[in-house]
Structure 1
Amino acid sequence: MSQLESNRPLSGIDALLARTPFFYGWAVVAIVFITMGIGVNVRTSFSLLFPAILNEYGWDRATTAAAFSIGFAVGAILAPIVGKLLEFIAPRYLLSISAILVSVGFILSTYSTEPWHFYLTLGVLMVGTGIVLTYVGQSMFLPNWFQRRRGLAVGVAFSGVGIGSIILMPLIQETISAEGWRDACWLMAGLLLIIVLPMNFFLQRKEPADIGLFPDGDAAPDKEMTRGQQTAADPVVDVEWVNTDWTLRKAVKTATFWWLALACSTALYVWYAVQVHQTKYLIEIGFSELEAASALGLVGFAGVLGQIYLGNLSDRIGREWVWSLSTAGFLLSCILLLMMEYVPSPTMMYAMVILQGGLGYGIATVFGSMPADLFQGRGYGIIFGTLSTLALVGGAVGPWLTGFFYDEGGNYHLAFYVIIAMSALSILSVWFAAPRKRRLVAGQARKRAMKAISS
């Protein structure tokens, strides 16, 4: 039962937080911003640790890289479990436990001497349980805090990953180069335990109702609106759908769930396939290693701006339009990659960067908002977790199948054509999922309200 339903007096830190409703709503975004800026980037730091571990132990690449693959698989399995646990356990506890387990994974890895040691430490503990600190875990509760500004809030929060990568990745690499990979692991464990753990344990909450607040940082609903205005501005389109007490069993019986799952799975196929292979591809077609690496970094920087802008835009024009625009960014960047094989122009490379980061990374923002628009309710956590697992299947298959096509054909032509087709399928699927037919975003509802009032 929520605080709003029970009317029990707040005490301690909850009472203090409830005194600043607007500030605290955005403070939640700031907490997620910092958590993901650290949590996501230390989780993906495996790519920086990988060469140093290879050099020290001399194992083959497949044996060593299996640690990340095992962790990725564990994370996919944990996603719906975490979603179910959120029905009973506050996210601040799950986030705190995840921060501790990832830290333990980093620390224990410094004592590892066999491959299976790394499978358990950097694999299961660091990559696997770290899923709670990423887009998946945060999207299970952050959308609860916003309705009118949901896309903007998620976009700002998720942009922390890009900012964090600009700051942390050079720091981690410098530590590895100067002090060794073990010191880098201790550094990352320290950041989690000193910053992420206490910040989430003391300040994070599942939903505004927990401390007597309302979404969007409101202290109370807007009572100055007339009943007619409130009715006209109501975002609900399908009353029966919105009033459904959604559970996973009910959700999987709808075509909407599966169209949304297909949209997300194909989108992550595209995202990871391009991200993993583009640096090697750019080098092979004539760009220097520095230019190729810089392109990847610029994609992340452009993604920061793109996520914030496109998140806000999705609150005004609808999730389907922004999803389509973002996915089209990947589609067009893939076409440019194909063209650059014949015309390796720096101008085309930077255009590809802008399309991929500035547009393509907007997928993350809508992915964090759209399921909440459709399946709000007590079962949302496990529903989103299941959707995430299905999406991660696409993310896992994309890089592997792209590499397979290259090995078989000796080039990326077929792989890029498949990526283009997957992009188109993702766009088509999101329109069949049709969130707008269940609940409008704030901009659409406001436009409908103005029409109703003027008439």
Structure 2
Amino acid sequence: MITWERRRHLSYGWVIVAVVCLSNAVLGLYVTGTSLFLVALIGEFDWSHSETSLAFSISLGTWALTSILAGMLTDRFGARVVLPLGAAVLASGLLLSSQLETLGQFYLYAVLTGLGHVMLGFTPATTLLARWFTERLGTAIGIVWMGRGLGTLFLTPLLQVVILTHGWRWAFAIEGALVALLIPLLAALLRNPPRQRRRAATTAAPSESNRHSARVQIVDATWANREWTLDAALRTKRFWYLLGMYCTLGASAFMLQVHQAAVLVESGFDPLFVASVIGLSGLVLVVGPIPHGLLSDRLGRELALVISTLLRVLGIVALMQASPVSGALLPFLYAVVYNLGRSGLPVNAGGTVADLFQGRHLGTILGALEFGSGIGGAVGTWVAGWAFDVTGSYQAPLLIVLASTAAPALFIWLIAPRTVRRVVAADSVP
């Protein structure tokens, strides 16, 4: 029987989801806005694509190098400390970027935005959710990542309007102010789960009271009951397969994230039309994560990630063929299909790590894997800009994106989270 106290704690878990979802919406504006700033800064300062892309690579590199630190801080102090601090650092970097005059300043401020991004982003948020939720973790992550779509849908087109009407400096300043508003909200509403729920999150088998609603079945009890530290995880093949998956996910996702607007503009599309395509991406990212969360919780991480990968590949093919001659269909098809697949990445990647390495050190392990994602994104973003400068076209960079998009579907079967914790229907749990 579920007591009133337990029901109250369960309800507050969904308050956590709502708050982190809002935070992710504002962070989504920062992430998707990079491609709009790329076009604006190249136009104003006449920097090359590789020079401008390098700033975003520095930001991602900083994110990568500090991801383990963010995970350790989350394990030590909790996400209620790390997330507001990340908002403060990111807001500072964005506000300073509104005053930049040189490429060197842009690189310097990119360090701040990268540090703020990692402390406000995936690792602290997923660690917090994994400690509040056990059976419905995929669904909770899906709802949180719906916020990324909300930011892209409603805020990114407005950001493009501000860039066109008032300039990129005002756009940076407004973006920084929005991030700063998160600081008091996160500090006031985020909480760590009660001790009994923290213990439940690391327990291998479901308790008698929730056995009939459990959706996760322990397959390898020895693995599941082990106290996983980063050092112990590093000694397993699964961790290195996970690192490979995160590297290729980061490379493909961030190459497109930073360069998608430039790809369409270079193809001959109007910047406002491009902003509408990115806005449509946001709509898809609003509705996509929850179905992916349900699929991940019901079909398992492997099949759900394969479905996600196939959709992303089809979307990239549509982007490669897009041109004003072929009309608006292919850019919009890219926005819908690619981002429908992209919606499943954080759900399945984060859910897989939580399935394998649940425990007190989950944040540190997630941070180590985010290092791979950040390095992949940093290298991939710069390589895409360099390849454009060399070839004068985005076709070669998009082929690299295509290859790195397909790779995670192979890694997830090597990782095989189903052999540790297997997703089962509620009524099939004994």
Percentage identity across paired residues of the two chains: 32
Aligned to 1:426: 408
Asked whether the equivalents of residues 79 and 131 of structure 1 are also in contact (C-alpha less than 8 Å), the reply is yes
Matched, 1:158 2:145: yes
1:382 maps to which residue? Answer: 364
2:152–2:281 Cα contact (<8 Å) kept: no
Distance verdict in 2 for CA 1:82–1:276, change over 3 Å: closer
**Is residue 199 from structure 1 mapped to residue 182 from structure 2 by the alignment?**
no
Question: Gapped runs of 5+ residues in structure 2?
Answer: none
CA gap 1:372/1:161 in 2 versus in 1, 3 angstroms: same
Q: Distance in 1 between matches of 2:392 and 2:298?
A: 45
Shift of 1:206: 3.6
**Distance apart, 1:386 and its partner CA:** 0.8
The alignment status of 1:319 with 2:306, answered yes or no, reads no
In the aligned structure 1, how far is the partner of 2:381 from the partner of 2:68?
Answer: 23
2:23 maps to which residue?
A: 35
2:59 paired with 1:93: no
Distance in structure 1 (CA, Å) of the matches to 2:406 and 2:148: 27
The residue type equivalent to 1:143 in the other structure is A
Partner of 2:68: 80
Q: Does 1 or 2 have the higher relative contact order (CA < 8 Å, sep 6+)?
A: 2
What CA deviation, in whole Å up to 9, does each residue of 1:208-241 have, x standing for no partner? 43788966xxxx955385xxx69x9761110010
Q: What aligned pairs does 1:76-225 form with structure 2 within 5 A after superposition?
A: 76-109=64-97, 114-120=102-108, 122-176=109-163, 181-194=168-181, 196-209=182-195, 223=209
Q: How does 1:234-245 map to 2 (within 5 A)?
A: 235-245=217-227
1:22-54 CA-to-partner distances (Å, cap 9, x unmatched) read 321111100100111113424654555566667
Per-residue CA deviations over 1:148-187 (Å, capped at 9, x if unaligned) read: 2111110110110110222323444444555555554443
Residue 333 to residue 52, structure 1, CA distance change in 2 (3 Å): closer
The 10-residue stretch of structure 1 (406-415 or 35-44) with the greater mean CA deviation from structure 2: 406-415
Does 2:382 align with 1:396? no
CA deviation string 1:404-424 (max 9, x = no partner) = 555555655554444443333
User: Which residue identity lines up with residue 380 of structure 1 in the other structure?
Assistant: L
Aligned residues: 422
Paired residues of 1:271 and 1:330 also in contact (CA < 8 A): no
**2:132·2:198 contact (CA, 8 Å) conserved in 1?**
no
Report the alpha carbon displacement of residue 347 of structure 1 after superposing the two structures with TM: 4.0
**Cα deviations across residues 45-92 of structure 1 (Å, max 9, x unaligned)?**
455556666777x47356665443322221111100111122211211
- In the alignment, the residues of structure 2 paired with residue 49 and residue 146 of structure 1 have an alpha-carbon distance, to the nearest angstrom, of 37
Q: CA-to-partner distance for each residue in 1:289-329, whole Å, 9 max, x for gaps?
A: 55444333322321221111111111011011111111111
Separation of aligned partners in 2, 1:275 and 1:45: 9
Stretches of structure 1 lacking an aligned partner (at least 5 in a row): 1-15
Over 3 Å counting, the alpha-carbon distance change for 1:17 and 1:131 in structure 2 is: farther
Instruction: Give the counterpart letter for 2:344 in structure 1.
Output: G
Residues 273 and 60 of structure 1, relative CA distance in 2, 3 Å threshold: closer
Root-mean-square deviation (Å): 3.5
Q: CA deviation at 1:335?
A: 3.2
Q: Distance in 1 between matches of 2:118 and 2:207?
A: 34
**Kept in 1: contact 2:68–2:365 (CA 8 A):** yes
Partner of 1:264: 246
Matched, 1:335 2:317: yes
- Deviations 1:374-415 (Å, cap 9, x if unpaired)? 111122111111111112222223333344555555655554
Find the aligned partners of 2:398 and 2:103 in 1 and give their Cα distance.
34
TM, length-normalised to structure 1: 0.80
Contact 1:272 1:398 in 2 (8 A): yes
TM-score, structure 2 normalization: 0.84
Specify whether residues 79 and 59 from structure 1 end up closer, same or farther in structure 2 by C-alpha distance, changes over 3 A only.
Answer: same
CA distance in 2, matches of 1:111, 1:288: 27
Name the CA shift for 1:152/1:211 in 2 (closer, same or farther; >3 Å): closer
Tell me the distance in 1 between the aligned counterparts of 2:399 and 2:99: 45
Matches of 1:179 and 1:351 in 2, distance apart? 31
Report the 3-state secondary structure (helix = DSSP H, G, I; strand = E; otherwise coil) of the residue aligned with 2:421.
coil
- Contact 1:265/1:391, CA 8 A, preserved across alignment: yes
Partners in 1 of 2:81 and 2:369 — Cα distance?
A: 23
Task: Rate the CA distance shift 1:28–1:183 in 2: closer, same or farther, 3 A.
Answer: same
User: For 1:342 and 1:351, how far apart are their aligned partners in 2?
Assistant: 14
Q: Distance in 2 between matches of 1:130 and 1:436?
A: 31
Match of 2:335 among 353, 356, 359: 353
Answer yes or no: is the 8 Å Cα contact 2:153–2:278 preserved in 1: no
| Deviation of the 1:188 alpha carbon | 3.5
Map of 1:71 onto structure 2: 59
Q: Provide the secondary structure at the position in 2 that maps to 1:440.
A: strand
Counterpart amino acid of 2:133? F
